[in-house]
A and B are shown apart, each in its own frame.
Chain A
Amino acid sequence: MIKCEHISKSFEGRRVIEDISIEFETGKTNLIIGRSGSGKTVLLKTLVGLHTPDEGDIFFDDVCYTSLSFNDRKRVRKDIGMIFQGGALIDSSTVYENVRLPLDLFTDDSEAQKRERVDYCLSRVNLSDAHHLYPSELSGGMIKRVAIARAIVMNPRYLFCDEPNSGLDPQTSIVIDNLIHGITKEYGITTIINTHDMNSVMEIGEKVVYIYQGKKWWEGTNEEILHADNPELNDFVFASAMAKRARRGK
């Protein structure tokens, strides 16, 4: 479980997120949605510890992350996997080296054990034959899949994904969504995904939080979202003309 209580964050005097309290449940795919610039990336980066909140606390299970020292935070971070919007693979390393890096740095596994683990993670994302390729040689979908493999190589308890579908075609987006959802169920981890893709919301959004102008505006499930009585949320969910027509028809 990941929980944040009354967190706020400002940059250069401008408040980007304000008094947000959410509980993300273990073993579920939790989605943070909202328009571009609504503050959802800042919220995700604050939750993961890349930004320090101005106010409020963040808990990873029973551990208050915000009160930990730099070294103690490193221990929690080893339980975190993160998939960045652009993949954030190390350019100078191959796919194999990228996925293996956390094992090299934080485990005493043998060469064979590391190879076996990397092979397993790459096969889990259907990239068994890409070991030798560099990030510049990969397509957008492959980069996301390598990023997923790297995120799960240390068996994380918490998985964060920042717009995993951005820049991908609809079919590849579904593949990535199902992969993340499958991994969440398989390992029973707490997954938080930032997205503004309504397909993802409907397919895998077990818990959905809508962020509007830096505040938590609504929360519920993917089934409840279609019937929510919230004008701002409805404007977001039914933004396209087709969706509006479908809703009127319903």
Chain B
Amino acid sequence: MKGLLIKDTHLAMFNKKIYIIFAFVACIMLVSTDFGESTAASDFIIGYFCFLFGMLVLTTITYDEFDHSISFLMTMPISRHTYVLEKYVFCFLGTLSGWILAVVLATGRMLVAGLPFAAGEWISGCIGVLLAIFMIMLVLIPLQIKFGSDNGKGVIMGVMIAFFVVFGLGKKVCDWLGIDIEGNLQYLINQLAIIPAWLIVVAVAVIYLAGIGISAAVSMRIVDKKQY
């Protein structure tokens, strides 16, 4: 797996100029945004960074397929399952790197702006963003492996659009039915507050382990069936 991680790091670095530009844009957003009394702008920037770095893994899958280099890769001393697992490890490391960078920058910006914020709440919000982005990646990785560079982008775009359509329609339906989503969510969050923290951590860990297991199993099945 070490060789694959080195390969993907090199491949990710191929786009370093684009990523520097994106990071620069994020920094400008960070500096120019009026934070007011809310951490919402910081949450967005953290999500933006995490997603950007997480997307690196999808780019490496595309590069692997370019000019049949995946066929050669599969003749090297790695198994198809190791190839898949490495994508998850690389994705986790990429997303985490983006998250750490963004949290440091956003926290620094808020400290400079003198915005009052509770450290515990802030960091748990940041972790929430990381987990949300990571969950999206668990869906996107098998899709990219399955549909490849040609169709992958279209499928991923379709999934994203479907997600927003379902989300938007759901909200409209709830509004029409007179269901107060925000109120209910707030109620749910309040209920969560009375659950011991360790139980929430365990529940989240179990959900994510199951998510990783299912996503990786699907990806492995796809790769097992692939003809190179």
Q: Do A and B bind each other?
A: no
Listed in ascending order, the chain A residues whose CB lies under 8 Å from chain B are none
